[in-house]
């Protein structure tokens, strides 16, 4: 087959596409096994309480119930990324409504449901804290009474309900603020929100002697395996985690979730068990939702628009237990200064325990809310200076040679290009109808270099296979790997098969998080393909009686450069390897270095201060606001990104489009609502309002598409997360531009816009 178009621009036929589109693809909930039991969790169902008694007698006595387990039935292990503050099942105290207290395995889902209801729990209610500032107030009741006894990362600074405290400090902010022409202040409050993957998670576990096979809808099979290992005390090679097709995750399926509980349940039942979450469970129980955040920021600016200093306090909502939120809080602190050249910064990030669902990474964790706050603040500065918001940003955006908040020297970045392009494509400055407005927002985000490996093999018939530990979460990142291998081996990408998302088949991988899949696995696969390429060239050199340097691989053949008639097919070469050395390549590639930074004045560091291959982007949004009702319709979005070289243009544009839509929902209609008792009030899709296809506006995507060094394959950067960062801020600014009223709460619901308009009129 000949490639008539450049593979990165051609519509890639995804190797998983046909089965997903036709409905034959299998997800974890679709699976069944001989002797399968149906599991169900008993959740706390109360915001905060001491457990006085758990009695499973009646549940166990129900006909059809095979096993009921609680904390008493598993090893007493505490776990957690930075603070080991939680257990598989609640012990003594429940701290949020979705905490798992017990699990049941039964012959049918209906029996399991009834058995769960028959578990008797006596609670002594404890004070419920749902508010971040109330949790941090002096004298607030402790959510973890024994917090001092928990293991913690040695670099973590914490106290009581404050799960982490960190600072980003550069220069002399107090002096710079004092000498500034003007100081502009703002306070912005963002509600927590949900990743809301369309597939509620499902987990199956089946023991085979002393080994357990788990199928899980996880974004991170290797991390899930590690959690099972840590909590159940098994070596990793006795645990296999396999992911059938994954129906989205958006970060909510990062880290291990519930795999250990289901494995423990299957072990107790001595039969395979499947747990399938309802939509309600998916809203309430996973410990990864986007955190609520309060940003208070003040900037010292000069009359010409130069920002000389920025001080900020970022409060984040940790929830009842600590996942990766302390690290996310550091990211949020960095993002609260934006992608701007600010010589003096003093930012404190504080992460607060609350009696709510634990927060954790959701697509670009910490960034959208911080950017939403900061980009509104930028517009408020522009207004105070009577300056055009685009001009203010252009004056202050990071350029090559500038220093980040942690004094990382910027190089090969194109932030200003994204601003200018977004302004141009949206028609910045054009006259608009009275009820319309355009807003703009900038953002940045790191790439995440990490180790991984891959194999590329040529089967004896010449067909190629990629073996990777990578996880496809719907982004197409894994599906893009054949483009890279195919180019190196002269094979059409559609001819590859893929072995992936299985801990026993592929090498370790960080999983579908941090926009890292193609960034790192692309490097490993390309390296493995180069290994096979060398083997092929050697075989071909013998066969064609030519020097290896004179041979090229193209169209499934090895041929002598300049003499296309002198060739041998890769299939023929593969056939010759039978009985000798098979064509197997392996590779890891060299992990790109993380740039130097100066964090000497920073405290509570957990490792996110230096941004490898940082991406930059600007979104511009045009909205129409119904002033009587506060209902916003988004008319157009322009998304301009510096993501380095683009490996798969169709896939990358799809990521940006999806990120924009996710951002629109966060900006306008989503937001988790929590009662004072710690109960989520909108744990379903009617009242947790994701954007529908009917709401999606015209979206234009533009890339700098320029290779950079110290980055991913071919000079690329991570592309999955950044597109959901600038949208909420751009929408907020567009609403303010259209109405003159500014909504400093997220989401900007019609009711809030209506209130802001009324206050504006007053």
- Where does this chain bind other proteins (CB under 8 A)? 278-280, 624, 626, 628-629, 631, 633, 635, 668-669, 673, 681-682, 684-687, 689, 691-695, 749-751, 754-755
**DSSP character at residue 549:** G
Nearer of residues 602 and 637 to other proteins, judged by Cβ: 637
CA distance 171 to 61: 67
Hey, what are 482's tokens? 């054949």
Q: Minimum distance between the CB of residue 587 and other proteins, rounded to whole angstroms?
A: 46
Q: Minimum distance between the CB of residue 692 and other proteins, rounded to whole angstroms?
A: 4
Nearer of residues 76 and 698 to other proteins, judged by Cβ: 698
Hey, what are 481's tokens? 């790997």
Other beta carbons within 10 angstroms of residue 78's beta carbon come to 17
Hey, what are 40's tokens? 């169900």
Q: At how many degrees (to 10) do helices 727-739 and 750-761 cross? A: 40
Using alpha carbons, list the distances in angstroms from residue 133 to 226, 348, 376, 650: 34, 14, 22, 44
Hey, what are 550's tokens? 């004179």
Q: Which residue has the tokens 């006894």?
A: 149
Residues making up the chain, counted from first to last: 762
Q: Minimum distance between the CB of residue 697 and other proteins, rounded to whole angstroms?
A: 9
Hey, what are 336's tokens? 């609260």
Q: Which of 517, 509, 503, 510 is nearest to 228 (CA)?
A: 503
Q: Minimum distance between the CB of residue 684 and other proteins, rounded to whole angstroms?
A: 5
Nearer of residues 1 and 686 to other proteins, judged by Cβ: 686
Nearer of residues 48 and 622 to other proteins, judged by Cβ: 622
Q: Which residue has the tokens 């207290």?
A: 101
Alpha helices in 522-672 (DSSP H): 522-544, 570-576, 649-668
Q: Minimum distance between the CB of residue 111 and other proteins, rounded to whole angstroms?
A: 13
Nearer of residues 391 and 626 to other proteins, judged by Cβ: 626
Q: Minimum distance between the CB of residue 755 and other proteins, rounded to whole angstroms?
A: 7
Q: Minimum distance between the CB of residue 681 and other proteins, rounded to whole angstroms?
A: 5
Q: Minimum distance between the CB of residue 99 and other proteins, rounded to whole angstroms?
A: 17
CA distance 271 to 288: 29
Q: Minimum distance between the CB of residue 423 and other proteins, rounded to whole angstroms?
A: 23
Nearer of residues 565 and 687 to other proteins, judged by Cβ: 687
Nearer of residues 566 and 633 to other proteins, judged by Cβ: 633
Task: Give Rg (Cα) of the chain.
Answer: 27
Q: Which of 368, 392, 391 is nearest to 378 (CA)?
A: 392
Using alpha carbons, list the distances in angstroms from residue 143 to 80, 128, 135, 354, 426: 16, 9, 9, 7, 48
Alpha helices in 211-323 (DSSP H): 221-232, 259-269, 279-284
Nearer of residues 58 and 114 to other proteins, judged by Cβ: 114
Nearer of residues 268 and 432 to other proteins, judged by Cβ: 432
Nearer of residues 83 and 699 to other proteins, judged by Cβ: 699
| Contact assessment for residue 558 and residue 491, using Cβ atoms and an 8 Å cutoff | no
CA distance 100 to 258: 9
Q: Minimum distance between the CB of residue 247 and other proteins, rounded to whole angstroms?
A: 17
Q: Minimum distance between the CB of residue 748 and other proteins, rounded to whole angstroms?
A: 11
Q: Minimum distance between the CB of residue 674 and other proteins, rounded to whole angstroms?
A: 11
Nearer of residues 394 and 633 to other proteins, judged by Cβ: 633
Q: Minimum distance between the CB of residue 749 and other proteins, rounded to whole angstroms?
A: 7
Using alpha carbons, list the distances in angstroms from residue 349 to 82, 155, 312, 368: 16, 15, 8, 16
Q: Which residue has the tokens 């504006």?
A: 760
Nearer of residues 155 and 624 to other proteins, judged by Cβ: 624
Nearer of residues 603 and 692 to other proteins, judged by Cβ: 692
> By three-state DSSP, how is residue 602 classified?
coil
**How many H helices and E strands in the chain?**
18, 27
Hey, what are 529's tokens? 């393909």
């Amino acid at each position: 087959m000949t490639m008539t178009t450049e593979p990165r621009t051609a519509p890639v036929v995804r190797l998983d596409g046909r089965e997903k589109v036709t409905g034959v693809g299998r997800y974890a909930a679709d699976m069944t096994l001989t002797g399968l039991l149906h599991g169900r969790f008993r959740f706390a169902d109360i915001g905060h309480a001491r457990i006085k008694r758990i009695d499973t007698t009646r549940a166990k006595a129900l006909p059809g119930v095979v096993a009921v387990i609680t904390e008493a039935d598993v090893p007493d292990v505490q776990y957690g990324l930075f603070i080991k503050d939680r257990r598989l099942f609640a012990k003594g105290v429940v701290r949020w409504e979705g905490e798992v207290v017990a699990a049941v395995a039964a012959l049918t889902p209906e029996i399991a449901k009834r058995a769960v209801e028959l578990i008797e729990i006596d609670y002594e209610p404890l004070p419920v804290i749902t508010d971040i500032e109330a949790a941090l107030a002096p004298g607030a009741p402790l959510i973890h009474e024994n917090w001092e006894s928990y293991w913690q990362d040695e670099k973590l600074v914490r106290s009581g309900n404050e799960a982490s405290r960190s600072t980003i400090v550069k220069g002399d902010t107090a002096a710079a603020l004092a000498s500034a022409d003007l100081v502009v202040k703002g306070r912005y409050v963002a509600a927590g929100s949900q990743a809301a993957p369309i597939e509620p998670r499902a987990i199956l576990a089946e023991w085979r002697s002393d080994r357990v096979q788990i199928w899980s809808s996880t974004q991170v099979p290797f991390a899930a395996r590690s959690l099972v290992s840590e909590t159940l005390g098994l070596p990793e090679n006795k645990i296999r985690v396999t992911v059938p097709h994954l129906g989205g995750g958006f970060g909510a399926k990062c880290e291990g979730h519930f795999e250990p509980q289901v494995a423990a349940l299957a072990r107790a039942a001595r039969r395979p068990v499947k747990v399938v979450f309802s939509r309600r469970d998916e809203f309430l129980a996973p410990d990864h939702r986007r955190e609520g955040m309060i940003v208070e920021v003040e900037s010292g600016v000069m009359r010409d628009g130069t920002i000389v200093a920025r001080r900020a306090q970022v409060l984040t909502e940790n929830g009842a237990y600590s996942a990766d939120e302390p690290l996310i809080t550091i990211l949020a602190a960095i993002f609260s200064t934006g992608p701007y050249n600010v010589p003096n910064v003093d930012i404190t990030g504080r992460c607060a325990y609350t009696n709510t669902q634990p927060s954790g990474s959701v697509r670009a964790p910490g960034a959208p809310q911080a950017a939403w706050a900061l980009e509104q603040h930028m517009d408020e500065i522009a207004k105070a200076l009577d300056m055009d918001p685009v001009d203010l940003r252009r004056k202050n955006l990071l350029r090559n040679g500038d220093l980040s908040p942690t004094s990382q020297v910027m190089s090969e970045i194109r932030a200003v290009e994204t601003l200018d392009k977004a302004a141009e494509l949206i028609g910045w400055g054009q006259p608009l109808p009275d009820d319309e407005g355009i807003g703009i927002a900038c953002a940045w985000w790191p790439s995440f270099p990490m180790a991984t490996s891959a194999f590329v093999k040529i089967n004896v018939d010449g067909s190629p296979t990629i073996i990777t530990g990578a996880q496809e979460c719907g982004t197409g990142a894994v599906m893009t790997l054949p483009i890279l291998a195919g180019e190196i081996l002269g094979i059409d990408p559609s001819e590859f098969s893929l072995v992936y998302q299985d801990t026993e088949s592929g090498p370790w991988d960080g999983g579908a998080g941090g926009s890292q899949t193609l960034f790192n696995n692309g490097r490993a696969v390309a390296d493995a393909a180069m290994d096979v390429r060398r083997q092929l060239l050697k075989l071909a050199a013998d066969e064609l009686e030519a020097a290896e340097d004179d041979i090229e691989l193209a169209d499934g053949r090895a041929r002598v450069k300049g003499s296309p008639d002198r060739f041998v097919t890769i299939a023929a070469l593969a056939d010759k390897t039978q009985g000798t050395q098979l064509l197997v390549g392996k590779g890891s590639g060299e992990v790109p270095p993380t740039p130097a930074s100066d964090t000497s004045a920073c405290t509570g560091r957990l490792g996110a201060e230096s941004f490898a291959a940082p991406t930059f982007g600007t979104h511009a949004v045009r909205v129409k606001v119904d002033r009587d009702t506060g209902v916003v319709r988004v008319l157009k979005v322009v998304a301009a990104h510096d993501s380095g070289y683009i490996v798969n243009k169709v896939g990358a544009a799809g990521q940006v489009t999806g990120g924009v839509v996710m951002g629109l929902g966060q900006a306008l209609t989503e937001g988790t609502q929590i009662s004072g008792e710690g109960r989520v009030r909108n744990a379903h899709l009617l009242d947790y309002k994701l954007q529908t296809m009917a709401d999606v506006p015209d979206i234009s995507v533009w890339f700098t598409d320029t290779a950079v060094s110290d980055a991913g394959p071919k000079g690329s950067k991570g592309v999955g997360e950044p597109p959901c960062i600038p949208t909420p801020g751009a929408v907020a600014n567009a609403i303010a531009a259209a109405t003159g009223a500014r909504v400093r709460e997220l989401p900007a619901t019609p009711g809030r816009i209506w209130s802001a308009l009324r206050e504006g009129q007053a």
